[in-house]
Amino acid sequence: MSRPTIYDVARESGFSIKTVSRVINEAPNVRSETVARVRAAIELLQYHPDPAAQRLGGGKLPTVGVVVDSVDDPFFAQVIAVIEARAMDAGMDVLVASTGMDETRMRTQIRRLARRGVAGLVVAPFGDTRTVEEALPDDVPVVVIDRKCGVTSKDVVRVTDEQGATDAVRHLVARGHRRIGFLGKLSAFDTLVDRFNGYERALTEAGIEVDPQLVETRAWTSDEAYPYALAMLATSDAPTAVFAASPMMGLGVLRAQQRLHRQDVALVIFGDYPVAELMTPPTTVVDQRPVALADTAFDHLVRRIQDPDAEVLDTVLPTLLVPRGSGELAPRGVA
């Protein structure tokens, strides 16, 4: 069983995480009834604040900065929530900033947080290696998450993008699919290149030649993906399955399927999204496991703050294929 978190205490007690944190850290002006309920939940769950994180909060810089693409992105929303919970265990604050996937804005946000005197930064970078390396400060502990962007001087926590994509396409091949489409903008991130490599690898293993007509690498947003998916699925030799390299690509495919009434096309999306289980059929996904990624990133940040000269780590966590229905559809005419 996993260690109870401050989220579990909040859920059990019926109070917000902020209120639970105030009780844990013995903040003034908290009602006695509130304290009693929170402490009862703590005792019931046998919750213990993270001692390593608590040591972080004992210094004079009790704030963690988090820089991500967008706070609206479901993946990063989960990452932020976990880091916030871990930081609150230590009585620390969290400052969140978004890059909008713009290099200039990323540099500005990182500098802004560094000037605020954060104890450390968790950053999802955007840009080429030189841009990212120059943007990351040397005088503040930094952990890079989700994508490497060629960074070698900072701790990195990411997932097995290529293997996750390979697993997804193998899953489709095993159901009898030979014409499998791909959507994902390869110039956006190294992660998407890795996912394309996984797509290509799985097809090659199965003796299937990659068909350029089934590969679309120009779209980034769901609005951009939609017309490409529409064109791909409307042809007489349309793919019987599609692998979407991100939730945004996947949503574009889902819109095209709905427009064309093509729910017979199998679909696997790299990355989960909030209503995936509510679709018809429910969407099969490659889960990036944002909770595990954020937990690991926070552990790395604690380590880096406590030992600035520690060995630089490049940690790669496994993804998980989650079959729900859409990825299990067989091609038309195949039982």
- Sequence-distant (≥ 6) Cβ neighbours of residue 105 within 8 angstroms: 98, 99
pLDDT for 60: 42
Q: Compute the mean pLDDT over every residue in the chain, rounded to the nearest whole number.
A: 90
Domain ranges of the chain: 6-49, 61-159+290-317, 161-288+321-328
Confidence of residue 52 (pLDDT cuts 50, 70, 90): low
- Express as a percent the part of the chain with pLDDT over 90: 70
Superfamily of domain 161-288+321-328: Response regulator (3.40.50.2300)
> Residue 324 is encoded by which pair of tokens?
């729900």
What CA–CA distance (Å, rounded) separates 36 from 20? 11
Q: What is the pTM of this model?
A: 0.82
Kindly tell me if the per-residue pLDDT of 302 is higher than 80. yes
- Quick one: fold of 61-159+290-317? Rossmann fold (3.40.50)
pLDDT for 220: 85
Nearest to residue 101, comparing CAs of 215, 223, 187, 225?
Answer: 187
Strand positions, DSSP E, the chain: 63-68, 93-98, 120-123, 142-145, 155-159, 180-183, 215-216, 241-244, 266-270, 284-287, 314-317, 320-322
User: 3-class SS at 199?
Assistant: helix
What CA–CA distance (Å, rounded) separates 282 from 327? 9
Lowest-confidence segment of 59-68, 112-121, 135-144 by average pLDDT: 59-68
Looking only at the bridges linking them, the beta strands covering 284-287 and 320-322 are antiparallel
Kindly tell me if the per-residue pLDDT of 61 is higher than 70. no
Query: CATH for 6-49?
Result: 1.10.260.40
Same fold, 61-159+290-317 and 161-288+321-328: yes
DSSP 51-112: HHHHHHHTSS--EEEEEES-TTSHHHHHHHHHHHHHHHHTT-EEEEEE-TT-HHHHHHHHHH
Helices (H), 261-308: 290-306
Lowest-confidence segment of 28-42, 131-145, 201-215 by average pLDDT: 28-42
Strand partners, 215: 182
What CA–CA distance (Å, rounded) separates 329 from 331? 7
Answer whether the bond into residue 247 is a cis peptide, omega within 30°.
no
Task: List pLDDT tens digits, range 134-163.
Answer: 999 999 999 999 999 999 999 999 999 999
